[in-house]
Amino acid sequence: MINQEKRVTRNNQKAVNAIGKIIPFLSAMIVVVAPALAAEKQASWSDQTTQISYKEYFDLLIATKFQNLNPAEPISIEFVPNTSADDALIFIVRPVVTPDFDLTDESSQKGDILNNFRSNINKQATSQLAFGRKLMNEKSVLTRWPRATVERNLAIRFVKADNARETVAITTGGKTVFEKSEIAAETALLKPRTGELWVE
């Protein structure tokens, strides 16, 4: 009985000694690993993904990519998601200074002024279409909006600088129209797609 008690005591002592050796090792591991885990957690915060809507994504993309080369002439550019990707729209509203006469008057005295005015609008439209094509060809856009084209998904409304309710030209389908009847026809198609963004 005494021998058995001695063996139990020796075993207990060995266990205590083993634990005594392990504790410093574990303490050292905690000292080394804890800061590393904290650093990993801190470093990985910026690598975590976050969910945003397509509208939020394209609003952010347009804000970072679009440059108004003439800040004196404000321009509005909005992404309109609508109910499907095919019907989604990049909608641009560009105020322009217009000649002080009927823009359908093509008489000889006013023809040159009108031609210069329309030429300027065509240049602006060409620039915005080029921006749209470049944007839609970006890899990040192709994965989210693969069927987008400027002909189907980009429209520009040119309005009078002193009256944003009056449309003087519209670029849609990749071409710009100036005639009142054509503007009216394109307006009827665009208003449902632009909603409250179409000011009238």
My answer on whether 63 and 161 are in the same domain is yes
My answer on whether 61 and 155 are in the same domain is yes
Structure tokens that stand for 47 in this block = 């690598």
CB of 128 closer than 8 Å to CB of 66: no
Q: Over the stretch 148-163, which tens digit does the pLDDT of each residue have? A: 999 999 999 999 988 9
Residue 133: closest CA among 147, 149, 114? 149
Average pLDDT estimate for 45-57: 82
- pLDDT category at 15 given cuts 50, 70, 90 is very low
My answer on whether 76 and 25 are in the same domain is no
- pLDDT category at 48 given cuts 50, 70, 90 is confident
My answer on whether 86 and 12 are in the same domain is no
Q: According to the model, what pLDDT value does residue 36 have?
A: 54
My answer on whether 147 and 115 are in the same domain is yes
Q: According to the model, what pLDDT value does residue 26 have?
A: 46
Q: Over the stretch 178-192, which tens digit does the pLDDT of each residue have? A: 999 999 999 999 999
CA distance 144 to 85: 9
Flag whether pLDDT at 40 surpasses 60: no
Average pLDDT estimate for 100-109: 64
My answer on whether 58 and 139 are in the same domain is yes
Q: According to the model, what pLDDT value does residue 2 have?
A: 47
My answer on whether 6 and 63 are in the same domain is no
CB of 135 closer than 8 Å to CB of 69: no
Q: Please count the structural domains in the chain.
A: 2
Q: According to the model, what pLDDT value does residue 27 have?
A: 52
My answer on whether 39 and 100 are in the same domain is no
**E strands in 60-182:** 76-80, 89-96, 154-160, 163-172, 175-177
What is the CB neighbour count within 10 angstroms for residue 186?
21
My answer on whether 41 and 87 are in the same domain is no
My answer on whether 83 and 142 are in the same domain is yes
Higher-confidence residue of 149 and 52: namely 149
Which residues constitute the domain of residue 121?
Answer: 54-197
